Structure 1
């Protein structure tokens, strides 16, 4: 009965993590570029109740006699399916169709990656114009440099092609390339990326180094869509079903603790 108390307690802890994960998905249902998560579980060690044999000559038993000691959270996996494209009136809104990520430089001068293409033009040093995130972090081009333009450009006239190249109309209103391309990067194992908050991801040893789509060989390039944002890939109906299942599992573990407690109480009353 003491074993059942601990097993049920581990189940409640595991389901609490599951509910926390689902709640975070639902909270970010409208977050641009958000990728949903799912909790995975594994059993704890098993305790052998009887020896492998009960005969004098050591013949093995055909079946084992083991009891589990509960469950624990094994991992929280990332789901990287494509989110739906949401139209935006801003000409600095960009969505990615494909496996790519935008690169931004954070306040610690570290490079992070994101699917959130809600960018804006900001005034940079030396009266320049710089493409940044809404937090003011510089967006990087295909060479890993900040995207800077001189003050003579009108930002509302800058166009972005599907490969991320910036163009500007000449005196005849014909678009001319500025020889600047918004950088897009891929990873051999996106599931190994580490979440940083603000829809940013950091490279880890599990994800591998970032692969520059503009220079890598054998990589299918992503498509940059101007005037759209990639919505969250959270499916509300699925998450609500998962939430109900997790709640029921939590209640069943709670019931197991209550039942074990009642059995212990009856065992104590036998002495009276």
Structure 2
């Protein structure tokens, strides 16, 4: 009789645990990146009243006779099915389209989360504003190159950061010179260049036809002739530039504002001399003025690109993601965070879009994967299970009462 009582108690206790888990799922139905939990039951252990016997002669064998002694929690598992992305338009909100986790750190320890509701901190760090933990990834070097083989570190988007000016050192001239031009015909092409202080200047190349298939190029900066500089362009009889016969000299100019001397290599290799209108332009020059970081963008692979006031863009870093051999082994620590355990395996860190980690939805958040219809159904089933186990206890109590009454 006592076996049924204790079996009923185990049923009550464990159905209550299941109800607790269901309640927590429903409470987190709107929690960003929340992953629902699921309770599974298993029978506990058995009292063997009679063991099994093997067949002997003409007699068959007998099965064991066992009485179950209740049930227990088999597991409380985290279900990692993806939640639906919800568009927010916030450039620091991210949802993962895969199995990856964001990596955040308190400075001593790393944690993992599916909650991509981040913001820019006072120091420019990309942070989780609820905990202050910094988002980890890889920073680009001064050339904008990212090395994902290096350890991850806190990402920084330093609004107002200055990009130093760069003096022009290469200029590319493109276009066509009219092959029917008479000797002495002059055309010119101006462009804006920059000195080492970031000050802009107007550099003009002037082309004068000096012979058949031959042009002489001179230059001036801000209307002042570059003394002693000229180059000779020679074209083949099919109108294509002839580098072997041309003489191209570097342009050396000393600005009058205290900037370092300019040493510019002109490139005329894309020019032609064909019949038709003359059209000459400067397609490229590599100088630029000083600029400050005014905005940024993030790609689906997590690459953060800074937008500067001088019109240039530069890669600042890349968000890292982690995945695990057994994500179900991760330990929840609250605040939408997980940490590694002995059964999750170590974090496998890589960039978004690699190794099954998934790309990023930028400007969106992953919603909870809790299905209210399923949870309410499970709640009813759990309630009925609880009621049935309570009936076991009351019925067993009535049977015990009958035994007590036999003494009267």
Q: Do the two structures share a fold, i.e. TM-score over 0.5?
A: yes
Deviation at 1:90, TM superposition (A): 1.9
Distance verdict in 2 for CA 1:10–1:183, change over 3 Å: same
Deviation at 1:172, TM superposition (A): 6.1
What residue is the counterpart of 1:114 in the other structure? 113
What residue is the counterpart of 1:150 in the other structure? 158
Deviation at 1:226, TM superposition (A): 1.1
What residue is the counterpart of 2:136 in the other structure? 140
**Structure 1 stretches lacking a partner, 5+ long:** none
Q: Which has the larger radius of gyration?
A: 2
SS in structure 2 of the partner of residue 117 of structure 1? coil
Question: Which runs of structure 2 are paired with 1:51-200 in the superposition (5 Å)?
Answer: 51-52=51-52, 61-106=61-106, 109-124=108-123, 129-134=124-129, 135-142=131-138, 143-153=151-161, 157-171=295-309, 173=311, 175-178=313-316, 180-200=317-337
Q: Name the CA distance, whole Å, in 1 between partners of 2:310 and 2:319.
A: 25
TM-score (norm. length: structure 2): 0.61
Deviation at 1:271, TM superposition (A): 1.2
The CA deviation string for residues 75-104 of structure 1, in whole angstroms up to 9 with x for no partner, is: 101100010001113221111111111000
Q: Which has the higher helix share?
A: 1
| Aligned-residue CA RMSD (Å) | 2.4
2:347 corresponds, among 176, 188, 210, to 210
SS in structure 1 of the partner of residue 90 of structure 2? coil
User: Which one has more relative contact order, counting CA pairs under 8 Å at least 6 apart?
Assistant: 1
Distance verdict in 2 for CA 1:25–1:3, change over 3 Å: same
Q: Is the 8 A contact 2:326 2:344 kept in 1?
A: yes
Q: Name the CA distance, whole Å, in 1 between partners of 2:312 and 2:293.
A: 16
Distance verdict in 2 for CA 1:221–1:75, change over 3 Å: closer
Deviation at 1:224, TM superposition (A): 1.2
Q: Name the CA distance, whole Å, in 1 between partners of 2:33 and 2:352.
A: 24
The CA deviation string for residues 133-187 of structure 1, in whole angstroms up to 9 with x for no partner, is: 0121111114421112334158872110011011122446464322x00111111
Q: Which has the higher strand share?
A: 2
Distance verdict in 2 for CA 1:30–1:86, change over 3 Å: same
Matched, 1:270 2:265: no
Q: Name the CA distance, whole Å, in 2 between partners of 1:248 and 1:39.
A: 16
**Structure 2 stretches lacking a partner, 5+ long:** 139-150, 162-291
What residue is the counterpart of 1:236 in the other structure? 372
Q: Is the 8 A contact 1:91 1:156 kept in 2?
A: no
Matched length = 264
Q: Name the CA distance, whole Å, in 2 between partners of 1:155 and 1:105.
A: 25
